[in-house]
Amino acid sequence: MPCDGAATHDLDVTMTSPAPDDVVIDLRDVVKEYPGDPPTRVLHGVDLIVRQRELLAIVGPSGSGKSTLLHIIGTLDRPTSGEVRIAGYDVARLADRQLSALRAREIGFVFQQFFLLPGMSAADNVADGLLYTGRRLRDRRARAGEALERVGLGHRLDYNTEKLSGGERQRVAIARALVGEPSVVLADEPTGNLDSRSGDAIVALLHELNRDGSTIVVITHDHDIAASLPRQVAMRDGLIESDVSHDARQPRETTGGMTR
Ligand code: ADP
pLDDT in tens, 226-243: 999 999 999 999 999 999
Is residue 175 lining ligand 1, measured as CB closer than 6 Å? Answer: no
Name the band, by pLDDT with cuts 50, 70 and 90, for residue 20. low
What are the C-alpha distances in Å from 216 to residues 6, 76, 107, 146, 184?
23, 18, 10, 19, 6
Is residue 34 lining ligand 1, measured as CB closer than 6 Å? Answer: yes
Q: Give the residue whose CA is nearest to atom 6 of ligand 1.
A: 65
Ligand 1, residues 68, 70, 73: which to mutate, most atoms within 8 A of Cβ? 68
The class (CATH top level) of 9-14+53-65+100-246 is alpha beta
Is residue 73 lining ligand 1, measured as CB closer than 6 Å? Answer: no
Structure confidence at residue 6 (pLDDT)? 43
Check whether 62 has a pLDDT greater than 90: yes
Over residues 79-86, the mean pLDDT reads: 97
Q: Give the residue whose CA is nearest to atom 7 of ligand 1.
A: 67
Q: Give the residue whose CA is nearest to atom 17 of ligand 1.
A: 42
Is residue 72 lining ligand 1, measured as CB closer than 6 Å? Answer: no
Check whether 19 has a pLDDT greater than 90: no
CA of 64 to the centre of ligand 1 (A): 8
Is residue 65 lining ligand 1, measured as CB closer than 6 Å? Answer: yes
Check whether 165 has a pLDDT greater than 50: yes
Task: Supply the pTM of this predicted model.
Answer: 0.88
Over residues 190-211, the mean pLDDT reads: 96
Over residues 17-23, the mean pLDDT reads: 69
Beta strands in the chain (DSSP E): 23-34, 40-51, 55-59, 81-86, 89-90, 107-111, 184-188, 216-220, 231-236, 239-245, 254-255, 258-259
CA of 72 to the centre of ligand 1 (A): 13
What are the C-alpha distances in Å from 93 to residues 49, 76, 97?
19, 15, 12
Is residue 60 lining ligand 1, measured as CB closer than 6 Å? Answer: yes
Structure confidence at residue 256 (pLDDT)? 40
Name the band, by pLDDT with cuts 50, 70 and 90, for residue 223. very high
Nearest to residue 87, comparing CAs of 8, 151, 32, 190?
8
Structure confidence at residue 164 (pLDDT)? 96
Domain boundaries of the chain, sorted by first residue: 9-14+53-65+100-246
